[in-house]
A and B are shown apart, each in its own frame.
Chain A
Amino acid sequence: MNDIWTPIRLTLELAFITTFVLLSIGTPVAWWLARSRARWKEVAATIVALPLVLPPTVLGFYLLILLGPQGPGGWLAGLWGGRSLAFTFPGLVIGSTVYSLPFVVQPIRNGFEAFGNRPLEAAATLRAGPWDAFWSVAVPLARPGFLTGAVLGFAHTVGEFGVVLMIGGNIPGQTKVLSVAIYDYVESLQWTEASLLAGLMVAFAFAVILTVTVFEKRVARPGR
């Protein structure tokens, strides 16, 4: 019974770190997709969006190859004496990031596109350089997109199962997250633990969606 806390702690850790990585990678990608006039940007957008459609097992399979000893993940792990990134926590973060990227990029891109060119032009005529205008105008105006992206990325990471199972396996304390733990409890007929964790997930999902809805309404309301 006491070890249900290990997967919960691990899941939260994974979700927070992944959300942070997702925002750091997703923001420049979303900015580029929103502002670039390159013709092939929709091709790039499609690649980012692929995890939306692919079965998690397909994604997990490719990630497993990439993270494994023969892939770039293995080479990377070699830098600190490891053999592979598969079946490790860093590997899990990488996998979750790829898997949840579209859920973060799309809302942020929409947020950047929603206000058009004008506010940035106005900022430029008021002596704000590109970097300054990005932080003082673009980010605050795209705030609803950031909020939605962050919450979706977090929640999606908490809830993933297929990819984790493919690349993380089931190592307690290292890669055994909530969703996998529930599966295990059911497999070994530990219904109490399974229903406890499952109930927690339901409550969590409910709280997330309610928070986002309420918050978005408040953000959308004009004035102060």
Chain B
Amino acid sequence: MSAGAGESAIEFTLAGRLGDFALDVVFAAPMRGVTALFGPSGSGKTTILRCAAGLQRLSGRLQVGEDVWQDDAAGVFRPPHRRPIGYVFQEASLFPHLSVRDNLRFGAKRALPEHGVGALDFADIVKLLGIGHLLDRAPAALSGGERQRVAIGRALLSQPRLLLMDEPLASLDRLTKDEILPHLEAVHESLAIPILYVSHDIGEIERLADTLVLLENGRVAAAGELAVLQADLELPLARAPEAAVTLEGAVVGADETYALTTFAVAGGTLIVPGRQGGRGDRRRLRISASDVSFSRAAPEETTILNCLPVRIHSVSRHDRDAVQMNIVVGLGDDGGGARIVGRVTRKSQEALGLTAGRRVFAQIKSVALLASGAGGGPRHRAIAQSQQEKADEAQRA
């Protein structure tokens, strides 16, 4: 969004030991959207995030856009307070001696003037996170979810150029998570700040992430667009019992009689139950591998609404006593559209001869709507707009 950043990226090269744990990673994250660092605990996610903040130091190099934050070869290391970051810890870590308002202002007061461009406004952020009624309270008088929302607001008001979130939902119960996730989505959609998001919960990743960095034992197992990695049979994501893909869709039609909404995705259309916004609205959809089945001929007289022509891209490698197999298909006659993963028994796969290159039909039993996708509601769009205007103004001056 910000004109100066262009297509620049956040580039990491980090290596080092912490006790008996060795970390050695090289990856780049785009300067927009949510990049999730995903992996089992002990894979080095949090260490990478702390190194990004400068709270911890391993040898290597870190460049964010044009700025070099660490370069051991050139003897550069910016201490944390000189990095324009916002950090949200797993526990909210609010200052207990300050009211919510003063916590929010702590970073705002100290924001570096050169990063005040496109300033996030106090009132806007308070509204975005729904914390207006808490301003005069002490942190001790807040619920866990409220505290975490204030912590997110405090980080945002320090005018970061990069937001770092370390499992911000991990210490919360299911209900509280569901209370906060929409706010995180709102932050994602309405603010032009790149976010590095650490999590071991695939559900959060599916809702929030655009880019994924998969970590295993201190190494990068894979990095790339979320949807691409989800449909890569070589990676653990597709092998997991809850394997799924996420797709970006735009509303193209609505069936008022039956309350159904039609979304266009790359290579086809999908019908989702419920009235899901006006024409052109973008949403994130999720298709679970276990909800996808295949047939050789176009299915007729079926209760399943979503039957699409697809072309098989790849089939998971044979394991002699595998019961189930994953099949990745591309939507459309030529298979050039979005990739989805389906799970079938080895018996069916062999009986139907489902091999790479075949044209078949995918039946999708259910499509779940995840997040409101890029664009967001009018309120969030307004903030993004005013942010953009401020940035433009600052550039002119």
Contact = CB atoms under 8 A, between A and B. Distances in A.
A132 interface: yes
A153 to B, nearest CB: 23
A81 interface: no
Interface footprint category on A: 20 to 34
A28 to B, nearest CB: 20
Among A121, A126, A223, chain B packs the most CB atoms within 10 A around the CB of A126
Contact of A223 (B106, B140, B154): B140
A124 B140 contact: no
Contacts of A141: 95-97
Contact of A122 (B89, B112, B164): B89
B87 A125 contact: yes
Interface string B65-96: 00000000000000111100111010101011
Given A124-B81, A128-B81, A128-B110, A140 B87 contact: no
Contacts of A224: 99, 138
A122 B93 contact: yes
A119 B95 contact: yes
Contact of B110 (A118, A132, A143, A222): A132
Contacts of A121: 55, 80, 87, 89, 93
A132 B109 CA distance: 12
Interface residues of B, number: 30
Contacts of A122: 87, 89, 93, 95
Interface string A117-146: 011011111111110110011001101000
B111 interface: yes
B167 to A, nearest CB: 14
Interface string A206-224: 0000000000000000111
A224 B95 CA distance: 14
Contact of A222 (B86, B87, B138): B138
B155 interface: yes
Interface in A144-192: none
Interface of B: 53-55, 79-82, 85-87, 89, 91, 93, 95-97, 99, 106-107, 110-112, 137-138, 140-141, 154-155, 158, 164
27 contacts: A118-B91, A118-B93, A119-B93, A119-B95, A121-B89, A121-B93, A122-B93, A123-B106, A124-B79, A124-B80, A125-B55, A125-B164, A126-B81, A126-B106, A127-B81, A127-B82, A127-B112, A127-B158, A128-B106, A128-B110, A132-B110, A140-B97, A141-B95, A141-B97, A143-B97, A223-B138, A224-B138
Given A119-B95, A127-B110, 5 more contacts: A121-B80, A122-B95, A128-B81, A137-B95, A141-B96
Interface of A: 118-119, 121-130, 132-133, 136-137, 140-141, 143, 222-224
* A-B CB proximity, top 5 nearest: A126-B107, A125-B87, A222-B140, A127-B110, A124-B80
